[in-house]
Amino acid sequence: MSEEDEFELEPIEILELPLDAWHRDKGARMVEFAGYHMPIQYEGIMAEHIWTRENAGLFDVSHMGQLMLTGEGAAEALEAMVPGDISALKEGKMRYSLLLGEDGGILDDMMITAVPMGLYVVVNGAVKWDDMGYLREHLPDEITINHMDDRALLALQGPKAVDALVRVVPGVDALYFMEAGSFFWGPKTDPEPLWISRSGYTGEDGFEISVPAAHAKALADQICAQPEVKPIGLGARDSLRLEAGLPLYGHDMNPDIDPVEASAAFAVSKRRRAEGGFFGSDRILNGLANGPARKLVGLSVEGKMPVREGAPVFAGDTQVGVITSGGFGPSVGAPIAMGYIDAGHNATGSMLEAEVRGKRVSVTVSSLPFIPHHYHRKGAQT
């Protein structure tokens, strides 16, 4: 055996989602993402983006990890690793939170919902195995972690999402933003239970639907049969979330960054600020009190040239930051970006320059989101 053969790596298997054939039948261009074949686009990123903003788009997000934490004291135990007030969550209510390393760095962002069995937690697909191992390591043995890998996850997003989904699953219109519940779908003689939340990753009103993988195709077919709905790929999902100022884990957040730096201080609940006691609480509470040395901000880009992840940002000859997400914002009609900018240069309106292919491009620190959120909040005027 030669030295080359000895160190040859086995190819990593790319997995298929339950709807893999469904995407291909609809003409999707498939790419590898988070270890899965996933649809990046169907008819085109720009058209799919605009369709979602104006109508409703169906996204397959089954690569994400759906976990169920059960056992007495699960919420209190999880609070050692997240900065949110999880034990106060009432059944059917959701909270966005952050999984923290022991030093307060962000290992993942997640959605946590109080359900009759315990806590339903949705984590990012690219790090779900790491998350499960970390939770198992730090949660007490009496807390059970069930990876619900027999379920698919669909997201229906856009201003007409409720009109379409209520025909398929009656009653979902009763949910408000960040609420969830169990609904029945299918024939009355043999209905299928779905877990549906009013939430999403586009800045628009919408729903996320957990369905047994065996029934995902039938549900996707029925939703896409509604005149408001088209299937939408990962490309438009990224431009939609960027316009909405929503971070992508592994790009805008990572283990070196804490919640205050990530402009996610809202995820540190009032009780936890007062009590501390979570991983990295000293670092995070100090950042809240004194301000972070760098901060995630929005950046408007002058001209038509997009600035991409990794581009350095300068104030004069001094580098003061780096781009973490960037691209064209179809609804904004211009290139936009997010990035980490040092204190003293990250106030809204600050004029800086990004370096793209050796050329300087003018950028201006912008408030987030780039376009308003349209969530269906309780008490909000419609």
**Tens-place pLDDT, residues 22-61:** 999 999 999 999 899 999 999 999 999 999 999 999 999 9
Mean residue pLDDT of the chain comes to 95
Q: Clarify whether residues 52 and 166 are in a common domain.
A: yes
Select from 272, 250, 335, 270 the least CA-distant residue to 298.
335
Q: Clarify whether residues 347 and 228 are in a common domain.
A: no
Final residue before a domain boundary, out of 185, 212, 243: 243
Q: Is residue 209 domain-resident? A: yes
Give the model's pLDDT for residue 79. Answer: 98
pLDDT digits (tens, 9 = 90+) for 240-277: 999 999 999 999 999 999 999 999 999 999 999 999 99
What is the model's pTM? 0.94
Q: Which long-range contacts (CB under 8 A, 24 or more apart) does 13-19 make?
A: 17/60, 17/62, 17/63, 17/152, 18/62, 18/152, 18/213, 18/214, 18/216, 18/217, 19/60, 19/62, 19/152, 19/216, 19/217, 19/220
Q: Clarify whether residues 237 and 309 are in a common domain.
A: no
pLDDT beyond 80 at 220: yes
CATH number at residue 39: 3.30.1360.120
Q: Clarify whether residues 361 and 239 are in a common domain.
A: no
Q: Clarify whether residues 211 and 317 are in a common domain.
A: no
Beta strands in 71-212 (DSSP E): 94-100, 106-115, 118-123, 144-147, 151-157, 180-185, 192-197, 206-212
Looking at the structure of the chain, the number of domains it has is: 2
Pairing relationship of beta strands 294-301 and 334-342 according to DSSP bridges:
antiparallel
Give the model's pLDDT for residue 13. Answer: 82
Q: Is residue 230 domain-resident? A: yes
Is 208 within any annotated ligand binding site?
Answer: yes
Q: Clarify whether residues 239 and 309 are in a common domain.
A: no
Q: Clarify whether residues 179 and 56 are in a common domain.
A: yes
Number of residues in the chain: 382
pLDDT beyond 50 at 1: no
Phi first, then psi, for residue 203 (nearest 5°) are 90, -10
Q: Clarify whether residues 154 and 236 are in a common domain.
A: yes
Q: Is residue 140 domain-resident? A: no
Report the SS3 class of residue 73.
coil
Give the model's pLDDT for residue 11. Answer: 56
For helices 234-243 and 45-54, angle between their N-to-C axes, nearest 10 degrees: 60
Q: Clarify whether residues 232 and 170 are in a common domain.
A: yes
Q: Is residue 208 domain-resident? A: yes
Q: Clarify whether residues 233 and 300 are in a common domain.
A: no
CB contact at 8 A, 253 and 342 = no
pLDDT beyond 80 at 8: no
What residue numbers bound the domain in which 35 lies?
15-62+150-243
Q: Is residue 193 domain-resident? A: yes
Q: Clarify whether residues 163 and 235 are in a common domain.
A: yes
Q: Which residues pair with 196 in a beta bridge?
A: 181, 209
Final residue before a domain boundary, out of 243, 264, 283: 243
Q: Clarify whether residues 218 and 158 are in a common domain.
A: yes
Instruction: Report the largest interatomic distance among the alpha carbons of the chain, rounded to a whole angstrom.
Output: 71
pLDDT digits (tens, 9 = 90+) for 356-378: 999 999 999 999 999 999 999 98
CATH number at residue 304: 2.40.30.110
